[in-house]
Structures are given as C-alpha cells and as structure tokens.
Structure 1
Amino acid sequence: MAMAPRTAPARQNLPLESDSFIGRERDLSDLLRLLEADRVVTLCGVGGIGKTRLALRVAAHATGSFADGVWLAEMAGLATAHEVAARVAAAVGVTEEAGRPLEDTLRDALRARRVLLLLDGCGPVAGPVARLGASLVESCPDVSLLITSEDPVRIPGEAIWRVPPLALPGPDGEADVRDSEAVRLFLERARDARPDLSATPGTVAAAAAVCRAVGGIPLAVELTAAWLRRLSPEEVAAQVTACLRAQAGAAPPPRRGRPRPPASREAVLRALLDHVHGLLGEQERVLLRRLSVFGDWDLESAERVCPGGPVDEGAVLDLVSSLVDRGLIALTAELQERVRYRLPGPVRRYAADRLEASGERDRVLLRHRDHMLAAVEDLGSAAVAGRLMPWAERFGRWRRVSIEYDNVRAALRWTARRGDTATGLRFCAALRAYWLTGYHFTEGAQWSGCFLNGPEGDGPPSGEPVPPGSGAPAPPVPGPDPKGEGGARARALLCRAELEWARGRTGTSRRLAEEGLARCRADEDAATVAMGLNLLALLDLRTGDRAAAGARLSEALALARSSGDLWNEAMAMSGQGALAALRGDPAAADTRYSAALMLLRGMDHRWGVGVVLIGQATAAERQGDLTAADRCYRESLDIQRDIGAAPDLARCLFGVGRVARALGSAAQAYDYLSEGLVLSQSTGQRAGVAVGLASIARVAAGDGDVAEACRLAGAGAALRERSSPDRPSRSWARTAEELGVDAAALAAWWHEGRRMDPGAAAALALRVAETGRLPRPRTPRREAVPERRDLTARELEVARLVSRGLGNRDIAVKLFIAPATVARHVANINRKLGFHSRRQIAAWVGGPGPTR
C-alpha cells in the first residue's frame, strides 16, 4: 500500500488517495467533532456506501489531534483474535514478545500513547475486534478507535454513525443539480472514463437521473459512470433506469392498495452488477469470478491461477485492464515494482457467488493454494540455501511472502478444511523462516499444531469466517505417500520446536525437536538432521548441558560438511563458538565465529551474518575484548537497521552503548542506550526496556547521578522479573556492588524504583541520559592519591584507575582480577570515604572521572 509521507508531529500509514474525494463535507466536520467527544466511533452501512473512503478522510484530517499517530489496520481476510491483534500490532509497530499474549503486549505498548486506530472492514471479525477494542479503551486512556463495519461491533461507549448515501439533486434547476454530491461524483468519474466529456445541460440532467435511480450509493455511481467509455450519458441513464425497473418488477408485488417500496441498496447494487455482468464477454466473466479467490493480487498471480478454459494466460493482462475500465477492479498500490489489484467488497462477493455457481470453485482454489505454496517454498529454500545468492534477491522472497500473506493464510485455511495434512505440513516447514524472523511465533505455532495433529486434531485456528462463495468444507483429500508426509512432518515438527523455543517454552521445544530429529534420522534427511541437532544444542546450552551440546554440534557439523549444507555448517560453527566462550576459551570462540561468518558472507546471507555477529559480540564483551565487541555490534547494527528486526536492533544498540560506557564515553553510551530504550518501548519489548533501564543506570552511577541510577536499576530489575520470570531475580545488594555505591544508600532508592510504572521509568531514564550529555567542567588529572590509612593498597590502586575513567571490566583486565571483585573494592572505597558514586572517588583523587 502506498504510504502518505510522515510529517512531524503527525505520523500515519494512511494510503495516498488515488482520486479526488467528492462531497461529504458536513459528514466530515461532524465526525471530527464526534471523535473529540467519543473515543470509539463506528461508521456503519451497506457495502459500497463509502464507509472506508469517509473514514480515511476523517483519519487524515485528525492527524494533528493525535501526537503518536493515526494508524490504519485493515481487517479483511482475518479470522481469529490473535490475527486481529497481530494486524493492529503491525500497524503501530509492536512486536510479539516471547511467552506473552500479543494483546497484552499491544495494550502495554499503547498505554501511554495518544493514537487513533482506524480498523477497517470489521464485520467478519466483529467479536474479536470488540474484545480487543474494549480492552484497549479500558487500559489506554489516550487511544481512540475509528471503525468501519456494516453493523455496530458492540464496544462499550461506541458511537454509531450511519453513513448516508451521497446527497441527491433536488428538483430546483441546473445549479442545484450541480451542487449535488452524487452528481459531482458522477461527473468526476465520467471525466476519468471520457476526458473529452463536457458538462452540458443534457449531460448534467442524465447524471442527475442516474444518481436518483441508484439512490446516491457511491459504488453504484462509480460503476455507472464507467459505462460512459462505451455509451452516451443519455444511454447510461436509460440503461440504469431499465435495469432497475426490471429488478423492481421481479420483486414480489406489494399488498393491494400500498405503493411498491423502494429497492434496498443491496438490491440496487446487485441489479447493477447483474447488468454489468451481462455486458461482459465470456472471458471477462470467467476471469472476474476466478479473481474472487484473491484478497488482492498482482498480474503474475492472476496469470498463474486464473487461466484455463476460455481464458488464456496471455489474455489476462488485457482482460484485467478491461475490468478496471468497467470499475469492477480497483488498483491499490505498487509493491516490489508490481501493481496490486483488488475487487471492491460487493463486487468480490458477487463474483464469489458466480464462482460457486460455476462449479469450478475448488479447482480455482486448488490452483490458488498451489501458487501460494510455491511462493512460500521458494522462500523456505532461499532462507537456508547454501549457495551464493544476492541478498536483495533472498530478502525479496521474504518480502514477497509478506505481501502475499493474507492469500497464504487463506490457502492455509482451505487446506485445513480439506484435511490435506501433507500439504499443510509443507506450508509450515516452508514458512519457518518467515514466522521466526518476522516474530510471528504464536500464529506459526498454531498452524503447525493444526497440521501436526492431523484431521482429527485441533483443526485450523478457530473463528475464521467462511470466505465468500466457499460453500461447505471440501472432503478430505486422499492420503499422501506416507514417506513424503513423514519427511514433511519431521520438518514441521522442527519448525514448531523452533517457534516454541522462541516463545520461551523450552520443555515443549525439546520434546518436539527430539521427535522431529528421530523422524529425520529414519528418513535419512541429512540437512534436516543437522538442523535438529543445532536446535537441540541451543536448548542444551540454555539448560547448561555443555557436554551434550558439544556432541550434537560436532555431529551436525560433520553431517553438514558431508552433504555440502553450508547453512547448517555455519550454524553449527556458530554454536561451537558460543560453547567455547562459555568454557572460557576466547581464542577458540573467535575462530569458530569467524569461520561461520566466512561461510555466511560467501553466501551473501546478511541475516545470518547479523545473528552470528551478535553472538560473537556478546562473547567478546563478556571476555573484556571491547574492541572486538564494538566492531561486531556495530556491523550487526547496520544489518539490523536494513532488515528491520526491532528486538535484534535493540540488542545491538544496547551492546554498542555498554561498550561505549566501558571505554569511558558516557555521552555516546547515552545516545545508543536511549535509542535502544525508545525502540524497545515503542515495540512493546519489556525485556529490552529492562536492559535499557539497567544499562542507563550503570552509566548514570558512574556519572555521579546515584539516586536516579538506583531508581532506574530497581525499575529495570522489577520489569525483568515480570518479563523473564524463569531468570533469577537481581537483589539490590548485588546491584549496589555492580554500580559501586553504598548498599545502605541504595536500598530506599532501589525499592522506590521497583514501584515505578515502566513508562515513567523509561521517561526518567531518557531525562537522565539527556542531562548526562551536557558538558561539565573537569578538574586536571593527578596521579597521586591522597593518603588514607583506612584504604588498602589494592583499593588505592582501584581508586586511581576509577579517576582515569575506567569501568570495572577495564580495571579488572589491568589488575588481573574479576569485575565483581573490582565492584566490591569500589563499594568499599565509597563506604570508607562516605561517598556514593565513582565521580566522588575521581574528584577525591583529582582525576577527570568517567569521560564522555
């Protein structure tokens, strides 16, 4: 979807309007006032009445009232509560957290934001939208909802706005006719169809007749205006009148003595579509009904799915262009240099009914399913292809699946209803890379569970509506080749295991991975065996079983090398690098990481390079090799900015910030840590916010802001406990030792911070960082330390190094002691001298202290 430019202070993702907005000036002003008074406004009305167009215009005018943005989330093609939450989260930039319902993450992320959410086309998912909307309104005081739906969605406090037809011309004369909204729209679209058309009195009169006949329904006005490509205005008016008269004549007669009621708007649209359909050629009719299987599409997809019978592949472009000219197809955007098309809602429902009546629905849906399966398997192979492939091409396949994902999801649902387990498992195995790198852990686990449990299992994720014209579920397909399904099942098991690992469910992940590995061994599938071994080795490392991890990694490496599987070879060597680092062998770790990077760079696999660099940087940082850590974090940072994986980007920002602090550059540390904190907060990553708070606390403590540092450390510890309950809690005494401050002074501030709201703690951290960037006068450096009999020789040595601006890790390297021992010495110095910060120690020695 083409995006409007973002301008400060308003931010939005609203599509650029493809043509002019006609009329509804009073509706627009009234709705803007209603939005000021009510936090939930729903625009209701039949399909084609103009709900979406009006809502988009209202949202565009409201951007100045919502400091944190106006965001469109289209509900078309969704079914479950999780899918609804995921679509809203994607619109506002929130990422799924491991081990937490996405709705909870979304609610927390929006709690302090002033935003307008435009939820378009909510009818098929009114229940999930109502539940999510009520939760957001209750928990987020500055979130407002603008909803479009044929009927109210029943959110408490919902203000209902029934969208009326466009204003019709009155009987008073030509000037009055020209002021009619419906006539203005007809004439505007008429000029699109016939640029040479002039608004003569006869043309205006014909336009008025058409608009009165169709009741001012915008879609009906636009459909009839398109007839001007082939007819005169007077002929259009005559045909519209005739077809609606015929429709009225087909209706049951009224009771004796009563006038015939006016046709409903749905009936008017149906009659017009029947008339237009009757004017189409056979190829156009066939293509139109087959296109109803798509949510939206590009020309390539139409050429793969829709040919057959009277429709040749080479004719699809001309037929699509003809249907566009008739107003039956709309252009929506240009993505990956491909134009995207869609059928307006009422047209798609009409075409789907025609597809059902034709008896070819299942055949077309099967071709649609196969086309989507080819796209995801193309991505699946490229994601782990152990050969040189330009990164733009590899990433382009990921983007392709992202663009087509609504169609992919529809294909998954149809496959599940057919009971086609083997194909479903192929989908899951191929979507592994998309689900993992896109942080779609829950949806991926749901679909994998659906197909792994088979036709008698869970079934598709519950709640999906039956697509237009889908009819009754298809009977199960005949059973596939057992060995073929077995291989797909093994790969899908490992996919599910990885997703559960990403969700923090290590026990479930291990069970699934072991089952998948056993199946892979039985099928003698070397690449999948290596993938399973690498995954189980990661689980072993997480649980501390280094011996088992080492054995699995060695086997995976040997298998990958024997089969020429460069991807799993690189992953195995990266795992060995992590294992060597845990064993305290930095040279071996660096060798293994570097070998993995050499393979991945040879493949031009930037995502893999970025992930391995983070591992290498983390290992180097723990070993005190700050130069190597900085280099690796910064290179991965550039990659993550291009890819857009927010959690990994935040990890790199925090890593660069920590290294900058250790190297004595507080200002640079504050810059990177603040960016990481803001990114984690905006994307809803509590664990990232906790890291940011703790990291800024350490810089602030070294900078002399002891009270604020302790508050931030307490807030970070509390948030870390909530986001990662399986990790050990951090005590205030341990934090005092790390920060180098007196434990007794820390306690009250620490507990005060633990009680802080995470949003308030983040705001405090950003203020501390901003203040810390300001320049401060420095005292001249002196090497001599004032005599203090109560300090030990080691403590005097530590004090001198603190005065030079060195952090605990740097001091530990120089003195060949542990960083924790340095922290204890710093705490003792503070206690003995009555100080509360490293800056006071530096001032006492006479050095500059922590530098920026």
Structure 2
Amino acid sequence: MAFGVIQRRTGELPAEVTGFVGRTAELRQLVELLGQTRLVTVVGPGGVGKTRIALRAAARLAGHYTDGVCLVELTGLRDPELLAHTLATCLGLPERQSRDRLDVLLDHLRDRRIMLILDTCEHLVDACAMLTDVLLREARGVTVLATSRQPLDVPGEATLQIHPLPVDEGPAAGHAPGGDAVELFAQRAAAVVPGFAVTDRNRADVLSLCRRLDGIPLAIELAAVRLRTVPLRQLVDRLEDRFRLLTGGRRTALPRHQTLRTAIDWSYGLCEAPERLLWARLSIFAGTFDTGAVEEVCADSELPRTEIQETLIRLVDKSVVLRVDDGEGGTRYRLLDTLREYGAERGELGAERLRYVERYAGLARHFGGRFLDDDQLDRVQALHREHADIRAALEYAFALPGGDALAARLAGDLWGYWLLSGHLTEGRYWQTRVLQRFPQAGPERVRALCVRGALTMFQRDFGQAYADLNASADLGGGDTFAARACGFLQLLLAVQGCYADSAAAGAEAERRLCALGDHIGLSFLHMTRSFLSVVTGDADGALEHCARSWRRLGPHTREHWLSGYLFWVTGMAHLQRGAYDEAADALHQALRLKRAVGDPLGAAYVLESLSWLASELGRHERATVLLGAASAQWRRLGSTTRVGPALIERHQAVETAASVALGAERFTALLQSGAGSPLEAVVDFALGETEDAQDAQEGEDAEELEAAGPGAPGGADGLTRREREVAALVAQGLSNRQIADRLVLSKRTVDAHLEHILTKVGASSRTEIATRLAAGGR
C-alpha cells in the first residue's frame, strides 16, 4: 500500500485495453496547444472519446514534466466541496495537516512542474473553473488538461473541440479506406466475431452504419457488439428503421447528441426486460462494483438474486457494462458516464437507493465494530475500492426523508476507515455535516464530536481536537464514543507534554471503557498509556501497557495499525533500557507494519527511533540519513517530534553526535540525502531491503554490478566509479560495514563490489588492494 493513500502512483496513466484509432490531427493539435498554454480543455459531446485523446497526449508529453502527470477522475465525485481534497489525494498528499486543502495543494504545487488531468468536469464545471484559475495563478509550473462537455471559461484557456470520427475519407487523406469510423467498427467487430473484416462485399453496409451513427465512437462500439447475434445486413436495417421513425422518413441528419441518444435507445430496446431493469438500477453506483454489491442493491421480486449474475454477464457481452480488473485478481464492473446517465432516466430508484445506503452502512458498521480484527488491512483496502460509492451513499442518506440518523451512523462507523486510509479531511467534513444536522445533545452528536476530534488530533490541530473530544466526553455519559473520547484525550495531552492531565484522562477512560467492556477502546488505551510511559522515561511501564494491549489483540494477531504503534513503543522502551537487539527487532517489525498499512506519520516516528538506535551503535552515517528522512516527512505532514522533553533531548543529542563524528559538511550532505529520498525508498533502506536510500543511486549501483560483473584481472583502470570509491576506503582500513555506512549502501552491496575489485586488480586479500591501486595509478 502507498503511504497515506491507496491509489495509482503520480505519473502512471491507465493502460489502454482496446486499440486507439485515428485522431492524428487532434493529437498533434492538442500537443501543440499544451506547448503554448497552461490550460487546455478538450471539449465534445458524450461518447466522442475526449478522455482517450487527453490520456494519449499526456502520455506523449509526460517526459516534459519533471514532477509527473496526475490523473484526477471526477466521474464519481458529486460534491464540489471535496474537489480540492480529491486532487490532493490523487497527488498522494497525506492528510495530517488541518490546514485548508487548497492551501496545502498550492504549497505542494508552487515549485513543481506537473500536468494535472481533470477528467469529466461538466457536472462540477464551476468548482473546476475556480480551482483551475487559482492553480494557474499561484503555481506557475502547473499545466491543466481538462475534459468536459463545455469549456471551463477560465482566463487563458484554450479549447480543442473533438468531433466524431470521419467517414468516407480516403487513404490519400491519411485515413484507412472508408475513414477512421470504419476502421474503429472493423476492429471492434473483429473482437466479437473472430475473422470479421471490411471487404468489398460488406463495405457499403459498414459505411452506411457508420454514417448513420455520425462517426460517434461510443455509438459505433455499441453497434459492433450486436454482431454477436445479428448479421451485419439486419443490423443496418434495424438501425435505419430506428432513425426513420425519428426523422419522419426524411434523410435529415439528427443533431449529434440526438444521434448518440438514439443509438443508446436502440441498444436499450434490444435488451431483454431483465437487462433493461438491471441497467437502470446499476446507474445508482458511482464507482466500480462487484457481483455481490449488485445482488444486494438491485435484486428484488421483479429481478431475483438468482438471475443477477447471468443478466450482468449479458450486459457485459453487449458492452453496456465494462469489466475491470480490481488489481487483486478479482473482477469488478462499471458503467460509462453516458450509459449511467441514460440508465438513471429509466426508472424510479427509491427502493434501490435505500438498499444502496443500507449496504454501505452495513459495511461501515462491520468495519467499525471489528476494527482490530485480523483482516483489517484487507477490509480497509476493500472499502477504498468502494470510496466513490461511500461518498454517494452519504449524500443519498442525507437526502432521504428521515435519513439523517442513518447518515450519522454511516459517517461515524467509518472512523477507522478515515484514519487508516488517510482520508482525514473528508472524514472531518462528513462529521461536520452530521453536527450541523444534530445541534442538540444526543448519541449522533457525541459520536461525531469524538470522531472529528480524533481525526483533527492526527492532523495536529490540537485546539480544535481538544474542544471536540472534551465536548464528546462531557455530553456522552455512558456512551461508547464518549468513553473513547477520554482515551483520545489521554493521547492528545501526552503529545502536548501535559503528562499529569494525560494520566488523569487515561484513568477516566479506563474506568468508562471497562464498564462498557469496549475491547477496541481498551486496546487503543493501553497503547496510548504505553506511549505516555515511554515519553516520561518509564520503560518498564511502557512494556507492561504494551503487554496488556497485546493480550487483548491475541498472540497471533494480524492487525496492522495499532500493532505497528505497539512495536514502536516496545522498541523505544528497549532502546531506553540498552537492549539494542530487541529494540532493532521491534522497530523493524513496526516499520514493516506501518509500510503495509500506509501510515506515513507512524513510519516517520519509527525512522526517527531507528536513527537513535544507529547512533547508539556508532553508525552515524546511517543515523543521519534516517534522521533526515524522518524530519522531511514531518515537515511534509505538518507534524513535529516535540512529544516530550526527553525525546526532544534525544533528537538533539543524535544530531550533535553525528555532526561531531562526521564533520559539518558530511553531516549536512547525508541529512539532505535522507530528506531528498522517497519515503518508500528510505523504509526499504532502513529494513535492509535495498542497497541505497536514494532510488537513483540504488539503480546506479545495481546497473554497475550487473554490467561490470566480476571481470578478469586487469588492474585498477578497469574499476567502475563505485568500485574505486570502495577500494579507496578499503585501502584506508575501513571494514565492509563501515564502508556501507559511509557510502549509505547495504553491506551485501559492498561485499559484491569488493569481490569484483579483488578479481579485477588481481588481489587475493583486502590488504593487497592498496598496493595494487598504487601500482596501477589511481
């Protein structure tokens, strides 16, 4: 899992799953426009292929943007208030800051050269326009490529109108015989009828069909799939009949939007009654869905659950529903926007909407109630795949008559999801909406205050967090979330250095949670009390509280998030006691869990602790790299190491010791090396899973080792740059471990380099290397 978010990496664009036809002139124009202006909107009707063209152009230009290309898919977003948040999430910005997300975005983008692709803007056109206007004015290295059915109307915007594919263009004009529309039909037809080709015998029918569909790609693809069951000639005749009804028999062309509508009407009419019913009901899904979700939401007496699977498969066969890989070996489905809009017009979805909300409320209730179960990571990843529909379910719940309580329960039960997935800002947003609906004391308000306070604490807005948590604890009495609010207060006060107040809050939390028998709350409380012990120097007390939490989780737990913090505190306690092997084991396990669950703040704390351990062992180069990485991560998260005087002093002591041992210049260089490395690379380095903390250097060393090989004796002239560095340090008498620390490599990489050096200079031992180098001339 990526740190903080579960998503496609910035710079990665989705792979094309079908052939790309034509659009040579449009692509050239789009590339030229992007070279001339920083905002280009690809405009055209639904189904014309705007997204495909934009992604093709972005792929061609990706190398021009040093900070990559970021695709922001807006189809599933319905609330314009979450637009900046959605963009920040796609950029991989963690949500540990409570600042306005637009400010965070601008700070991140201001000095970057990056392309942002805002795909499908028409339903959020005002919000997209305002955001784009601000981005272009404040971040001069940002280019925005938008797709929309209408322009954004932002100063400096260039638009590229995308028209349907040409029909009847000849080869001399740079098109396939019959035009790109015919070529598209031929490719899609061959995919459903193996061996299909456009020949002299059927060319007139294909031309007629493509011309009647006005060259609109989506309409052509819907028609081509019908060849599975209908011969081409009959297909053309049926389509002509449909259009003749609309034009009154005149050979008048319909407006293009009506052409597409007619093609979809025609496809809809050819569906059987269960297929039409399911098509309409599937339109309720905002994102992708699996068969289980369809059965739960769409099945009733009119469309029995036993018929769902087969009916869904038939819609896939007719290209109404698209099959997508979920990345985990499973299958999910989605509707194209145009077909979803059409389906939504085809039925009243009152009962389906209620089942839809209840489905996601059930998933949230299960997750919230079993937050610490072994399948925690699997379930948070599964919820992330449903994120667009979680949003839609919350919107529907707030809109349902009498649905406020259901919305409050859904938003509150997702407290652990907001936390683990990194969607802290969005989680706070939904709790605020709940609080607006429930201004008076009651369980909904108590829960929303507790959840918002906890999320706010992790964003380090301590004043707001304290106000929310204190209010929840005071209002709730015997409510579970009021008791948990006391536990969160204990952690908040410990982080702020208010140790006596923290202990008092912890005691109150334990009293309430024990009375309720709240397993989740008590497990979390023991971890936070162990943290209080370790920051006050009570290593034995920290280990005892950790043991109490472990006993609750079970000896073979596969829970990740809380366990990661328990291992971290355990490692810190062992470090305080001077048990360095035990500290290393615990901290490495903590880092593995934080990497798996995607917790950048937790990873930063562990990296800091590992730097202290390295300092205790005299490995100052390694300590400095890890310290730089941790400090950079905290700056990025808007966080701090100031969680108690003892830990502040330890941090400063490590910095001082490293600076003295290495010298100011070397210390600064290594600190910057750690700060400039990606978090994932530093974590791999800290765990000994890569050769270098910097990806570029790691790749360089790996390439050198592979390309150079052990070689044959030939003197020092045959050594690579890295081998010369290693050889020079060997000649100075450094051990392989010391060389690894000095060059910020793993020991096994140094071992491999040394083996190559011995072979190349014809030495039989390390002591001969200095002599051979001197003889060969350095």
Bin the TM-score by the shorter chain. Answer: 0.7 to 0.9
Summarize the alignment of residues 124-163 of structure 1 with structure 2, pairs less than 5 Å apart.
Answer: 124-163=123-162
Which structure is higher in RCO with an 8 Å CA cutoff and minimum separation 6?
2
Measure how far apart 1:304 and its partner are: 0.6
Summarize the alignment of residues 779-798 of structure 1 with structure 2, pairs less than 5 Å apart.
Answer: none
Q: Does 1:316 align with 2:308?
A: yes
Measure how far apart 1:218 and its partner are: 0.6
Measure how far apart 1:694 and its partner are: 8.4
For the Cα contact (< 8 Å) 1:633–1:656, is it kept in 2?
A: yes
Name the CA shift for 1:779/1:284 in 2 (closer, same or farther; >3 Å).
closer
Summarize the alignment of residues 72-471 of structure 1 with structure 2, pairs less than 5 Å apart.
Answer: 72-80=71-79, 82-170=81-169, 178=177, 180-249=179-248, 262-295=253-286, 296-355=288-347, 360-384=348-372, 389-390=373-374, 393-418=375-400, 419-454=402-437
Measure how far apart 1:698 and its partner are: 4.7
Distance 1:223 1:696 in 2: 66
Measure how far apart 1:777 and its partner are: 9.4
For the Cα contact (< 8 Å) 2:380–2:420, is it kept in 1?
A: no
Q: What secondary structure sits across from 1:533 in the alignment?
A: helix
- In structure 2, give the amino acid aligned to 1:400: A
Name the CA shift for 1:148/1:688 in 2 (closer, same or farther; >3 Å).
farther
Measure how far apart 1:172 and its partner are: 9.6
Name the CA shift for 1:699/1:231 in 2 (closer, same or farther; >3 Å).
farther
Distance 1:159 1:420 in 2: 44
- In structure 1, give the amino acid aligned to 2:608: F
Please give the per-residue CA displacement for 1:561-606, whole angstroms capped at 9, x wherever unaligned: 5655433233222233233334443322232233323433534322
Q: Does 1:685 align with 2:637?
A: yes
Name the CA shift for 1:660/1:213 in 2 (closer, same or farther; >3 Å).
same
Q: What secondary structure sits across from 1:340 in the alignment?
A: strand
Q: Does 1:641 align with 2:595?
A: yes
Residue 678 of structure 2 corresponds to none
Distance 1:780 1:76 in 2: 62
Measure how far apart 1:677 and its partner are: 5.8
Measure how far apart 1:175 and its partner are: 11
Name the CA shift for 1:697/1:30 in 2 (closer, same or farther; >3 Å).
farther
Summarize the alignment of residues 412-561 of structure 1 with structure 2, pairs less than 5 Å apart.
Answer: 412-418=394-400, 419-454=402-437, 486-521=442-477, 524-525=478-479, 527-542=480-495, 544-561=497-514
Alignment RMSD (CA, Å): 3.8
For the Cα contact (< 8 Å) 2:121–2:146, is it kept in 1?
A: yes
Measure how far apart 1:231 and its partner are: 1.5
Name the CA shift for 1:695/1:340 in 2 (closer, same or farther; >3 Å).
farther
Distance 1:576 1:174 in 2: 75
Summarize the alignment of residues 683-722 of structure 1 with structure 2, pairs less than 5 Å apart.
Answer: 684-687=636-639, 698=656, 701-706=659-664
Measure how far apart 1:643 and its partner are: 1.4
- In structure 1, give the amino acid aligned to 2:504: A
Name the CA shift for 1:678/1:15 in 2 (closer, same or farther; >3 Å).
farther
Measure how far apart 1:409 and its partner are: 0.6
Name the CA shift for 1:62/1:445 in 2 (closer, same or farther; >3 Å).
same
Distance 1:438 1:198 in 2: 49
Name the CA shift for 1:224/1:587 in 2 (closer, same or farther; >3 Å).
same
For the Cα contact (< 8 Å) 1:28–1:58, is it kept in 2?
A: yes
For the Cα contact (< 8 Å) 1:650–1:688, is it kept in 2?
A: no
Measure how far apart 1:302 and its partner are: 0.6
Q: What secondary structure sits across from 1:322 in the alignment?
A: helix
Please give the per-residue CA displacement for 1:373-414, whole angstroms capped at 9, x wherever unaligned: 111112112214xxxx43xx2211111111111111111111
Name the CA shift for 1:318/1:546 in 2 (closer, same or farther; >3 Å).
same
Name the CA shift for 1:678/1:116 in 2 (closer, same or farther; >3 Å).
farther
Distance 1:620 1:488 in 2: 42
Residue 563 of structure 2 corresponds to 609
Distance 1:686 1:508 in 2: 16
Could you say which structure has the larger radius of gyration?
1
Q: Does 1:63 align with 2:21?
A: no
For the Cα contact (< 8 Å) 2:450–2:482, is it kept in 1?
A: no
Name the CA shift for 1:163/1:622 in 2 (closer, same or farther; >3 Å).
farther
Distance 2:349 2:368 in 1: 28
Residue 661 of structure 1 corresponds to 615
- In structure 1, give the amino acid aligned to 2:219: A
Distance 1:23 1:556 in 2: 66
**What is the total number of aligned residue pairs between the two structures?**
673
Please give the per-residue CA displacement for 1:543-573, whole angstroms capped at 9, x wherever unaligned: 5543443233234335545655433233222
Measure how far apart 1:291 and its partner are: 0.6
For the Cα contact (< 8 Å) 1:243–1:275, is it kept in 2?
A: yes
For the Cα contact (< 8 Å) 2:170–2:179, is it kept in 1?
A: no
Identity among equivalent positions (%) equals 27
Distance 2:496 2:657 in 1: 31
Q: Does 1:600 align with 2:546?
A: no
For the Cα contact (< 8 Å) 2:85–2:425, is it kept in 1?
A: no
Q: Which moved more, 1:130-139 or 1:618-627?
A: 618-627
Instruction: Give ranges in structure 2 of 5+ residues lacking alignment.
Output: 2-8, 643-647, 675-693, 699-721, 735-740, 742-778
Measure how far apart 1:301 and its partner are: 0.7
Distance 1:680 1:123 in 2: 37
Distance 2:528 2:640 in 1: 23
Measure how far apart 1:157 and its partner are: 2.0
For the Cα contact (< 8 Å) 1:189–1:226, is it kept in 2?
A: yes
Q: What secondary structure sits across from 1:78 in the alignment?
A: coil
For the Cα contact (< 8 Å) 2:95–2:424, is it kept in 1?
A: yes
Please give the per-residue CA displacement for 1:31-78, whole angstroms capped at 9, x wherever unaligned: 223222222221111111100111122222223323332221101122
**TM-score with structure 1 setting the length:** 0.72
Residue 818 of structure 1 corresponds to none
Distance 2:161 2:651 in 1: 48
- In structure 2, give the amino acid aligned to 1:277: Y
Please give the per-residue CA displacement for 1:220-260, whole angstroms capped at 9, x wherever unaligned: 1111112212222122222222212222239xx9xxxxxx9
For the Cα contact (< 8 Å) 2:85–2:101, is it kept in 1?
A: yes
Please give the per-residue CA displacement for 1:178-230, whole angstroms capped at 9, x wherever unaligned: 35110000111111222243433232221111111111111111111122122
- In structure 2, give the amino acid aligned to 1:702: V
Distance 2:671 2:596 in 1: 32
Q: What secondary structure sits across from 2:103 in the alignment?
A: helix
Q: What secondary structure sits across from 1:178 in the alignment?
A: coil
Distance 2:551 2:399 in 1: 45
Instruction: Give ranges in structure 1 of 5+ residues lacking alignment.
Output: 2-9, 254-259, 458-481, 717-761, 782-804, 806-852
